[in-house]
Structure 1
């Protein structure tokens, strides 16, 4: 007598678990033929790591949490000169469900209250088509057709010696009043765009750590009320990991907390996974205690790692601005991704993250300077991202 076949729902997860590592191995062999052998082996090992999600695997991993279908599986999308629908295929393949689009305003210096904007088709050094209203709208519509939601996340770019918005700091109360008077129409413009195009979220500021000091709480609350009258979707603010998120007094007026999660994890070059996991613990303990007071969900509005041996030491540093160019280290980047997801993805207060960053048309043989920076594209880190976002 032929034995009865097993029901599909009993055997297919185990078959997939057996075949997936082999498929990933051959994917890396074909797409990373020039990568170091140890990086490929490590990527394979990470791909074979057990998942903490899913009912069947939860039975094997006590204490694991179930996957949250509302979690924001995001990337920070780099606007370009154009976009085609096929550029979104890698996102859907990697289970990305959100993208952050980032238009810019410009300040002449960190102490200059004027903000220059370019909402139409930018020209010259003032932005790209993908950062214009037309580019943002068209990209969001294409993304929505593929099931990808948009978080509109305007940034300020500071010209001169500094290019970090955290350096913006006015020299007088009058200049701060002028700065907020200039910032209001800037962010309200994007609130109106987000409302008209039904964007799924709006970030009202990014790393403006002096502007968010307690002395300016009243100005932010007034601005948030204005934004709420224009845009009726969820609001957040993207606070720097180093102290800013703790100083903000207006979190209760927003829907969730945004944190630029460039937490340092290890000063050791090419640190092992267990060291990276230990490095996360003090940050997560502090975040968990703080979040209990705020009672708002948290999203990592940016998080990412360079492709360098010291990627975990100062994750916020851009490789082109470092004193010396470090050698490529794809294995360390992949380990940093694995540690990020293992340590953070199951936290009940974390509702998503946006990986920094994603170039729409980057090819495997594209510019070396792009492959050297934060993007996981065409590297072992991409497979780690896909595995976790797919759970």
Structure 2
């Protein structure tokens, strides 16, 4: 697998957001300023709660198919390799990792079977778009931790996707979960969310390496990032952390992450979280406390590593 120098662009964009000139300008700037050559687009599927059985992707909360296809074509014209990662989210704010049902069906209670039927319809819809548009990779889900033990349903979902999409298939498990997924043999690429503490990268990479070697599959971090907030480098997965703006700490986390990963030849890249479809004024960048890297010191760290890797022919 060719090395991935990637970024997730405008995740969960609502209808109309991809259709603007501003979004296209932002994507072009992302290519220019970071040297990223791989982009992940994340269509939003919405269920009301973590126990809802139906996933909706046809309302104003989700980009239209036409604007997604147009943005894919535009990204490819800029030289990006493109991946789609349709992702389910809960409207009430519950993190998707907590989507869960009884393992044995109980009358009058929501069921895994009904949920997977809706989830499969959601994923196949975007698998067809990925095939039509020539996307390099398809990731049918992200951080669905409480569902991952449902091995049979996940294997069937991936098999169903292969009837519609013929490129690389991965799955984005959450941090610390790489060794818990038992169906990595069903996908082409193993991936996970790399939100690891700044002082724990070597230990976590040692752990992930055992999984990669066991399954003999390529690996990349389908997400990785750190907020520009004091203390975030030690809990980069915590998007609710409070503190002062700390763009230097964010940059240090990125430098540490890249330096650790480059020593492992089985790490075939990453797709960082994230780059917005509507850019904020550059003069406000250093005061922001979020995962964005635009006009922050971390942006320069990313660009330096990505250019280095591409120059080396990774």
- Fold shared by both chains (TM-score > 0.5): yes
Matched residue, 1:207: 143
In the alignment, the residues of structure 2 paired with residue 191 and residue 171 of structure 1 have an alpha-carbon distance, to the nearest angstrom, of: 28
* CA 1:110–1:369: 2 relative to 1, 3 Å: farther
Structure (1 or 2) with the larger CA radius of gyration: 1
In the alignment, the residues of structure 1 paired with residue 302 and residue 157 of structure 2 have an alpha-carbon distance, to the nearest angstrom, of: 36
Q: Contact (CA 8 Å) 1:140, 1:149: kept in 2 or not?
A: no
Q: Contact (CA 8 Å) 1:113, 1:170: kept in 2 or not?
A: no
* CA 1:156–1:367: 2 relative to 1, 3 Å: farther
Structure 1 length-normalised TM? 0.72
> Offset of 1:71 from its aligned partner?
0.8
In the alignment, the residues of structure 2 paired with residue 149 and residue 161 of structure 1 have an alpha-carbon distance, to the nearest angstrom, of: 31
Matched, 1:88 2:88: no
Q: Match of 1:312, SS?
A: helix
Matched residue, 1:14: none
Q: Contact (CA 8 Å) 1:112, 1:170: kept in 2 or not?
A: no
> Offset of 1:286 from its aligned partner?
1.1
Structure 2 length-normalised TM? 0.88
Selected match of 2:49 from 73, 97, 109: 109
> Offset of 1:370 from its aligned partner?
9.0
RMSD (Å), alpha carbons: 1.9
Matched residue, 2:100: 169
Aligned length: 295
Matched residue, 2:3: 71
Structure 1, unpaired ranges of 5+: 1-67, 266-275
* CA 1:307–1:200: 2 relative to 1, 3 Å: same
In the alignment, the residues of structure 2 paired with residue 376 and residue 355 of structure 1 have an alpha-carbon distance, to the nearest angstrom, of: 10
Matched residue, 2:192: 259
In the alignment, the residues of structure 1 paired with residue 218 and residue 30 of structure 2 have an alpha-carbon distance, to the nearest angstrom, of: 25
> Offset of 1:218 from its aligned partner?
1.4
In the alignment, the residues of structure 1 paired with residue 293 and residue 180 of structure 2 have an alpha-carbon distance, to the nearest angstrom, of: 32
Matched residue, 1:182: 118
Q: Match of 1:257, SS?
A: strand
Structure 2, unpaired ranges of 5+: 106-110, 309-314
> Offset of 1:366 from its aligned partner?
7.2
> Offset of 1:367 from its aligned partner?
6.8
